[in-house]
Structure 1
Amino acid sequence: MAEKFIFEPNDISQLEDHYDVVIIGSGATGLTSALQAYELGLSPVVLEKMDRIGGNSTRASSGMNAAETSVQLEHHIIDSMDNFYDETFEGGGKQNNPAMLRYFTQHGALAIDWLAEHGIILDDLTITGGMKTKRTHRPSSMAPIGAFLINELLKQIDKTSIPLFTGIKVDHLVKDANRITGVRASKQDQQFNIDSDAVILATGGFGANSNLITKYRPDLAGYNTTNQPGATGDGITLATEAGAKLVDMDQVQVHPTVQQDTDHVYLIGEAVRGEGAILVNNQGQRFVDELDTRKNVTAAIDNLGGTGAYLIFDQAIRDRVKAIEFYDHVGLVTSAASITELADQIGVSSDNLNQTQVKWNQDVARNTDSLYGRQTGMRAIEEGPFFAIHVSPAIHYTMGGINVTAETEVIDNDEKIIGGLFAAGEVSGGLHGNNRIGGNSIAETVVFGRQAGQQVYKYIAGLK
């Protein structure tokens, strides 16, 4: 695993009053768009309201989806962009924006290559729910993708001396006619006016804003969230004040496997199931295809009546998901030498859990899930020690957001483009339909982060 790179943000005294493009947000979308814009000859700046860099991207664990990559071929996996499109469209309830989805699925492989050109190598593969093919790329160390990607992108930001400021909040987009010409920002009691030819909103979603969640999804009031505290929808507020149209705001994803028994909420990444873990109820029995879409797995756990469920896996599966080391370190994992002992520790029927294990291993050997039709991530649970993690659903991702074109241009309420305003990543809406597929969020940050940087360059060139 790569050592954590210590990045020092710029001192506020270094903030200038003009940049070609202001990028709001320091997650993977913001860092990618800044690097792409810089490589096209622009002068970008990244403004982050939090003291910590990386946003929600640092919490992503599974990987980055892409189809028809050289990495897949090296693993003897034959994939197609059309299949990637179809499975994502199906997983999103066929409510995805077709133009955005087409661009997304056709540029994932290019994004993997672009990262590799920068020394960011994703050469291992796993699978997530709703996908039928291993197309979730991750580092060979199997480290959680989010922190790895932010760490490596920050090395590039440092290398290129792209200015990045933390603790500075953009309060207003400056608009002249129907064109954005800069921002007004603040840091504690200091005020800043920054002129720019373009602005990229890369502020993430609103999963940590209980008021917005309750406004659009009152049925989710009181749910815990996996989001970092800064995910409050600031970009959505800025954009709407500038006249932007919003889409799909009621489409909020609840992640099915979240550990919530401690003071902190921990998302248990989909790679755990992707590498073979099963879910059992309080009777020690399976109850769902574990790699169905997040929406369907969440519904199945909710239907258990509030008890949550247990992820069950063995040492071989644990060895394929390095994030489990962290989960264990913070006390989320129950361990036992045998399935019987594990059942006793988590309070389920040992007879049932033993029967579940035997049945699962038989199905794996036959390569068919006779109970729920699971087709992917089938791995026997037979190599002790054995492990369990108690999980239940929590708010995870907001599919809705700013209405944008496939070129990341922001659309206003009159269906016109707001000049100089671009949005990418979770702050934008439309790509995922009514359900986001695991591995598509990190892919979105790189694919559309690059797109935003490129389209800003094209836009600014057109002003001259």
Structure 2
Amino acid sequence: MKNNLLRITALAFAVGATFSIHAAQPTLAKHHSDMLGCDACHTKPIKVSDSETHENASCVSCHGGLEDLAEPGHANHFDPHASHLGTINCTSCHTGHAEPQYVCNDCHSFEHDDMPFANTGKERKPAFTGFDQDKIEQAIAKGPKESVDVVVIGAGSAGFNAAISAHEAGANVILLEKHMFSGGNSMLAAGGYNATGTPLMEKKGIKDSVDWFVEDALKGGRGANDVDLVRVMGEQSADGIAWLESLGADMGDLKRSGGARVDRTHRPSDGASVGPHIVETLRNAANKRNIETRVNSRAEKVLRDENGKISGVVVHGKHSGYYLIEAKAVVMATGGFGYNEKMFAEYRPQFAGMSSSNNVTATGDGLKLAEEVGAGMVDIEWVQAHPTIGKGSRILVSETVRGVGAIMVNVNGKRYVNELTTRDKASQATLKEPEQYSWLVMDEQLLKKSSMIRGYKDLGMMVEANTIEELAKQTGMKPEVLSKTVADYNRYRENGKDEEFGRDNMPVSITQAPYYAVAVNPGVHHTMGGISINTSAQVKDDNGKVIPGLFAAGEATGGVHGHNRLGGNAIADTVVFGRIAGDSAAAYVAD
């Protein structure tokens, strides 16, 4: 009877029914408790884990999972149950005792009015408001609540890869994530994973080498990269692809990202965004191995003992409060600071006020934790602007769009840069344009090739027209200029030589209606600097000495990318060095 009643209510909510209880019963929790009591959602006696595991299982048992609630054929409208976030907790949005809010609107600006008891506003609380030192000290004074071998902080690609690798090597692992769901910035990665020497490249006859991989990364990073780190990434990049595929990932397509001399950017076969696919694969792999992933659990202090070795982590849990985990090793996989405007503007003043493509979790607090225990920092002042963030939004329009054939034109409709140059150069070129924004122009061929590009259309970001002239009129470009630009580009492609900008990869012509354009401008995308590490992912202090038991990987670290990161190298970084960090931490614990 209980399940039937809840399911009837759930189905009514799912189709957007209006209930008179909205005014009389203002919270989701009160609605459920009035019908069936608190045990409809909670255990008895009530004890809620920080990950709200039982509560989310209760949601699914009555309402169904995200796949059950997703609307068939949702492509042309906003469906919160069918997003790129993948399998996340119901309580990420449906907060029982507070007004629910769409987590989608952390990045988007969707208007939606049929979520029960919800506030559809666009403002959310900041992800980080500082550390409470008094409560941290109280937790330390109480002593450890539990003991494990390895604590991994941050559940993006680097953190998941570290946790799974450490587990596979025999370590007891806990993975902490401050957000209400895992994924971090990796969840927003759109393009692909740069690797060299893979079976797919061999099958397609693509000649490449580790030396070329390293040379391209160094050229993109202006020679400021740590060469040893870059070489390790290149040497182990193919193993990383094989590792992901062994976990169930589809990395069966290739394209070229800016700054690469060959097609080495691996991505899903259907052209889907690489980040969500990899994160979902890693989530499933961690769950299969029973690796505990605690969301709503912020690490607020890393501890060293009297011998200078890592000894534990103070955690602030949403429900459990402050507590201490004793740990022999800690992996910092906390990401960068691209969402912390105060921080990136301090290091890069010219970027002050610039929009960001980053997840709300990219606030740099992990770097502060590492600094507190003596970690050195590398290239911290180098922040990358991505040239194609959707104008007026925080949505990244991937390099893939240019890599598979789109051209980049100014407000008049004229090309002004090689679309496949490095991100810093493309951003600088746009910022020199009077209006400081541009248009990506493409045709129907590209939409057919990539589900990711079709997603931009579904989000309402693209202008569509049946002719190039009409596209120009709708976007405010000059029809005669855009028409000549497209005609010239098609001729360059046919002749195999870009006479204007030297673009050496022009995979498709722009000839098939309808035609599309999306407005883009530069925005903060990646922070190249961070924690200093060696090739074993051990953290070093300012004197280059290793901090025993402390490891780091991903965007939290510096040195891999130098002064500018190539598209496709971020995921490679998180997978390669995430695995190394996990293996190194497990070996350290076992030693």
How do 1:236-315 residues align onto structure 2 when only pairs under 5 Å count?
236-261=367-392, 264-315=393-444
Counterpart position of 1:212: 343
Q: CA deviation at 1:83?
A: 0.7
TM-score by length of 1: 0.95
Matched residues in 2 for 1:180 and 1:79: separation?
Answer: 41
Which of 302, 309, 324 is 1:179 aligned to? 309
How do 1:408-423 residues align onto structure 2 when only pairs under 5 Å count?
408-423=537-552
The residue identity in structure 1 corresponding to 2:316 is S
Matched residues in 1 for 2:552 and 2:166: separation?
Answer: 14
Matched residues in 2 for 1:88 and 1:375: separation?
Answer: 18
Q: CA deviation at 1:461?
A: 2.0
Matched residues in 1 for 2:342 and 2:83: separation?
Answer: 38
The CA deviation string for residues 355-396 of structure 1, in whole angstroms up to 9 with x for no partner, is: 111100000001110001111244211111100000110000
Contact 2:89/2:180 (CA < 8 Å) preserved in 1? no
Q: 1:439 to 1:16 in 2, by over 3 A?
A: farther
Matching of residue 355 in structure 1 with residue 436 in structure 2: no
Counterpart position of 2:324: 193
Which of 272, 276, 285 is 1:143 aligned to? 272
Q: CA deviation at 1:16?
A: 6.5
Larger Rg computed on CA atoms:
2
Counterpart position of 2:514: 385
Q: Which has the higher strand share?
A: 1
Q: CA deviation at 1:302?
A: 0.5
What secondary structure is seen at the aligned counterpart in 1 of 2:449? Answer: coil
Matched residues in 2 for 1:302 and 1:3: separation?
Answer: 30
Work out the percentage of aligned pairs sharing the same amino acid: 37
Matching of residue 202 in structure 1 with residue 333 in structure 2: yes
Matched residues in 1 for 2:315 and 2:260: separation?
Answer: 42
The residue identity in structure 1 corresponding to 2:469 is T
Contact 1:281/1:287 (CA < 8 Å) preserved in 2? yes
What secondary structure is seen at the aligned counterpart in 2 of 1:313? Answer: strand
Matched residues in 1 for 2:271 and 2:395: separation?
Answer: 18
Q: 1:3 to 1:441 in 2, by over 3 A?
A: closer
What secondary structure is seen at the aligned counterpart in 2 of 1:225? Answer: coil
Matching of residue 74 in structure 1 with residue 203 in structure 2: yes
The residue identity in structure 1 corresponding to 2:165 is Q
The CA deviation string for residues 195-220 of structure 1, in whole angstroms up to 9 with x for no partner, is: 11100000100001112112211121
Q: 1:4 to 1:392 in 2, by over 3 A?
A: closer
Q: 1:329 to 1:161 in 2, by over 3 A?
A: same
Counterpart position of 1:444: 573
Contact 1:2/1:148 (CA < 8 Å) preserved in 2? no
Matched residues in 2 for 1:212 and 1:227: separation?
Answer: 14
Matched residues in 2 for 1:50 and 1:34: separation?
Answer: 17
Matched residues in 2 for 1:287 and 1:218: separation?
Answer: 26
What secondary structure is seen at the aligned counterpart in 2 of 1:370? Answer: coil
The CA deviation string for residues 16-42 of structure 1, in whole angstroms up to 9 with x for no partner, is: 711110000010110111111111111
Matched residues in 1 for 2:544 and 2:308: separation?
Answer: 12
The residue identity in structure 2 corresponding to 1:251 is W
The residue identity in structure 1 corresponding to 2:286 is I
Counterpart position of 2:248: 119
Matched residues in 2 for 1:16 and 1:355: separation?
Answer: 69
Q: CA deviation at 1:250?
A: 1.0
Q: CA deviation at 1:3?
A: 9.7
The residue identity in structure 1 corresponding to 2:170 is G
Matching of residue 222 in structure 1 with residue 353 in structure 2: yes
Matched residues in 2 for 1:111 and 1:265: separation?
Answer: 29
TM-score by length of 2: 0.75
Which of 43, 52, 59 is 2:172 aligned to? 43
Matched residues in 1 for 2:470 and 2:433: separation?
Answer: 24
How do 1:57-136 residues align onto structure 2 when only pairs under 5 Å count?
57-136=186-265
Q: CA deviation at 1:320?
A: 2.3
Farther off after superposition, 59-68 or 322-331:
322-331
What secondary structure is seen at the aligned counterpart in 1 of 2:516? Answer: strand
What secondary structure is seen at the aligned counterpart in 1 of 2:215? Answer: helix
Matched residues in 2 for 1:185 and 1:116: separation?
Answer: 33
Matching of residue 54 in structure 1 with residue 135 in structure 2: no
Matching of residue 340 in structure 1 with residue 469 in structure 2: yes
The residue identity in structure 2 corresponding to 1:322 is S
Contact 2:151/2:331 (CA < 8 Å) preserved in 1? yes
Matching of residue 365 in structure 1 with residue 494 in structure 2: yes
Q: 1:208 to 1:3 in 2, by over 3 A?
A: closer
Counterpart position of 2:104: none
Contact 1:46/1:164 (CA < 8 Å) preserved in 2? yes
Which of 55, 78, 87 is 1:6 aligned to? 87
Higher relative contact order (CA 8 A, sep 6+): 1
Counterpart position of 2:62: none
Matched residues in 2 for 1:378 and 1:71: separation?
Answer: 18
Contact 2:270/2:449 (CA < 8 Å) preserved in 1? no
Counterpart position of 2:364: 233
Matched residues in 2 for 1:258 and 1:311: separation?
Answer: 11
The residue identity in structure 2 corresponding to 1:181 is S
Contact 1:9/1:166 (CA < 8 Å) preserved in 2? no
What secondary structure is seen at the aligned counterpart in 2 of 1:17? Answer: strand
Matched residues in 2 for 1:7 and 1:71: separation?
Answer: 31
The CA deviation string for residues 322-355 of structure 1, in whole angstroms up to 9 with x for no partner, is: 2122211111000111101101100111111111
Counterpart position of 1:317: 446
Q: 1:9 to 1:95 in 2, by over 3 A?
A: farther
Q: CA deviation at 1:9?
A: 11
Q: CA deviation at 1:282?
A: 1.4
Matched residues in 2 for 1:212 and 1:69: separation?
Answer: 38
What secondary structure is seen at the aligned counterpart in 1 of 2:464? Answer: strand
The CA deviation string for residues 43-64 of structure 1, in whole angstroms up to 9 with x for no partner, is: 1111000112100111000100
Contact 2:149/2:328 (CA < 8 Å) preserved in 1? yes
Q: CA deviation at 1:265?
A: 1.2
Matched residues in 1 for 2:435 and 2:538: separation?
Answer: 42
Q: CA deviation at 1:119?
A: 1.9
Q: 1:390 to 1:2 in 2, by over 3 A?
A: closer
